[in-house]
């Protein structure tokens, strides 16, 4: 049994229902996980992480939205 199967197995669930859930997840992943989708998703995740790092650095330097408008 794979990792997701073990997670469901911890719940008191009939085998038929467990098989149905695992089949649902497997078919959803087969339909959504193409090379293009994985690349697109990982590119967006990298963008989000780099934006968060830039915002953190700006906050430590005292640069930000409020400091810009305080000077006006």
Res 19: pLDDT? 87
Give pLDDT tens digits for 12-60. 778 888 888 888 888 887 778 788 888 888 899 999 999 999 989 988 8
Structural domain tally of the chain? 2
42 shares its domain with 71:
yes
State the residue range of the domain holding 9: 1-33
Q: What is the pTM of this model?
A: 0.45
Res 46: pLDDT? 94
CA dihedral 67, 49, 36, 7 (to 10 degrees): -140
44 shares its domain with 26:
no
Res 70: pLDDT? 62
40 shares its domain with 71:
yes
Res 51: pLDDT? 92
40 shares its domain with 59:
yes
Res 18: pLDDT? 84
Q: How far apart are CA 54 and CA 49, in angstroms?
A: 9
Q: How far apart are CA 3 and CA 21, in angstroms?
A: 14
């Amino acid at each position: 049994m794979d990792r997701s199967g073990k997670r469901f197995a911890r719940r008191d669930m009939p085998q038929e229902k467990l098989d149905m859930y695992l089949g649902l997840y497997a078919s959803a992943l087969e339909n959504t996980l193409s090379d293009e989708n994985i690349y697109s998703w990982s590119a967006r995740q990298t963008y989000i992480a780099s934006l968060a790092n830039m915002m953190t650095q700006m906050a430590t330097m005292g640069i930000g939205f409020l400091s810009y408008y305080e000077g006006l």
